[in-house]
């Protein structure tokens, strides 16, 4: 029986998390899975291009938009209450079609984006992402891949609670290695399976990074690849197959 899996991809800004999320989604699609990619990064406007899709209407608008969400939060939180947006559990087929962009077996759902000066914080997006993932039921042969915003604020919002596995993408920088320690600590506290994905490494960089990491947590080490770099630079559909992503797909689609 295939594990019902919601995988969250995180990392510092520029680590390559969106690229890893897109490549993983395409690998799972080729294997016959029905894939839902959840774009919960309110500041990144490039994930849909890597998937070869248009950016769909944000899910936030289905619930009245950001201002409506803020109003509900301001009423509920001072009373110690939680806002309720979903009357029942949702499956893939319950997601409104106008809020999905689909190609082959991959569908993209965007939680919401920051568009204007002074529009306020991204807290409503984080709250909606958490509620959506908590409420979403995944059937056999379906997978969810969540691309988070940079850093670890999503941990503070509790977004990871609705996920089964966390992939932390680490580029060869001191900042990534330091962030990995905090991600590991939080993941252990909430009982989530964490794997590190080393990105843009050669043998020397990989060796240096492994000295600072728990080696049993390292899933793969992805080498520098000009094809991936150029697709990310110009915002093209990223059609690249590499062994390390296939190993990640093996992990996500592992048999029980």
Q: Which of 42, 68, 70 is nearest to 55 (CA)?
A: 42
pTM of model > 0.75: yes
All domains in the chain, ordered by first residue: 5-252 (3.40.50.300)
pLDDT digits (tens, 9 = 90+) for 145-187: 999 989 888 887 778 888 999 999 999 999 999 999 999 999 9
E-assigned strand segments in the chain = 5-11, 34-39, 101-103, 106-110, 142-147, 165-170, 193-201, 218-223
Higher pLDDT among residues 130 and 66, named by residue:
130
Return d(Cα 90, Cα 215) in angstroms, integer: 37
pLDDT digits (tens, 9 = 90+) for 226-247: 999 888 888 889 989 999 999 9
Tell me the percentage of the chain whose pLDDT exceeds 70.
95
């Amino acid at each position: 029986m295939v594990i019902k899996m919601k995988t969250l991809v995180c990392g510092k800004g520029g680590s390559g998390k969106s690229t890893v999320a897109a490549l993983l989604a395409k690998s799972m699609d080729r294997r016959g899975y029905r894939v839902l990619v959840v774009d919960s990064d309110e500041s990144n406007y490039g994930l849909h291009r890597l998937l070869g899709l248009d950016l769909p209407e944000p899910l936030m608008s289905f619930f009245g938009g950001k201002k409506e969400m803020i109003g509900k939060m301001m009423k509920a939180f001072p009373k110690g209450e939680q806002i309720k947006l979903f009357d029942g559990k949702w499956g893939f087929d319950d997601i409104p079609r106008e809020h999905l962009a689909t190609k082959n077996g991959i569908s993209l759902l965007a939680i919401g984006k920051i568009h204007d000066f002074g529009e306020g914080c991204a807290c409503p997006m984080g709250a909606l992402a958490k509620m959506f993932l908590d409420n979403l039921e995944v059937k056999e042969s379906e997978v969810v891949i969540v691309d988070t915003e940079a850093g670890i604020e999503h941990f503070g919002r509790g977004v990871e609670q609705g996920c089964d596995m966390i992939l932390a993408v680490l580029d060869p920088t001191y900042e990534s290695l330091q962030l990995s320690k905090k991600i590991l600590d939080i993941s252990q506290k909430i009982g989530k399976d964490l794997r590190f994905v080393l990105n843009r490494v050669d043998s020397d960089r990989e060796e240096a990074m492994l000295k600072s990491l728990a080696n049993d947590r390292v899933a793969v080490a992805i080498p520098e690849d000009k094809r991936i770099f150029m697709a990310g630079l110009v915002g093209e559909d990223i059609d690249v197959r590499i062994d390390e992503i296939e190993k990640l797909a093996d992990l996500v689609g592992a048999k029980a």
